[in-house]
Amino acid sequence: MHYEGSCHCGRIAFAFESGEPISGALSCNCSICRRRGSLLWFGPRDGFELKSDPAELESYRFNTGHIDHHHCRVCGVAPFSEAQDPRTGVPTVAVNLRCVPALDLDALTVTHYDGAGR
């Protein structure tokens, strides 16, 4: 299934593919996800296309420094993050589904993850 999204001002636009329609999201309570209010979907980086100039992105790393938390340098919205899956080493993207307007967020099954306790 094909999805498209962007930050608030539209400078950071992206598209991604999922094998099936997205029906669930992860809500993490770690310090950054809690503050951003992210609802996340994880997929392989090779199924993700940044349609904007990468220079429009700002990135932030903290804690172990393994995750690039990207946000728009103009509006500040954080549409996605990138890292390697710690189990497989596969490059992975975490899309903030709140930045994908075609999705009905109320229809998603939300799984709560205790990132603060890890």
The answer to whether the CB of 57 falls within 8 A of the CB of 69 is no
pTM of the model as a whole? 0.94
Average pLDDT score over residue span 62-72: 92
Q: Under DSSP, is residue 76 helix (H, G, I), strand (E, B) or coil?
A: coil
Predicted confidence at residue 118, as pLDDT, reads 79
Predicted confidence at residue 13, as pLDDT, reads 98
DSSP string over 61-104? --TTS--EEEEETTT----EEEEE-TTT--EEEEEEGGG-TTS-
What percent of the chain is modeled with pLDDT above 70? 100
Q: Which domains does the chain have, with CATH numbers?
A: 2-22+41-100 (2.170.150.70)
Predicted confidence at residue 65, as pLDDT, reads 85
Q: Under DSSP, is residue 32 helix (H, G, I), strand (E, B) or coil?
A: helix
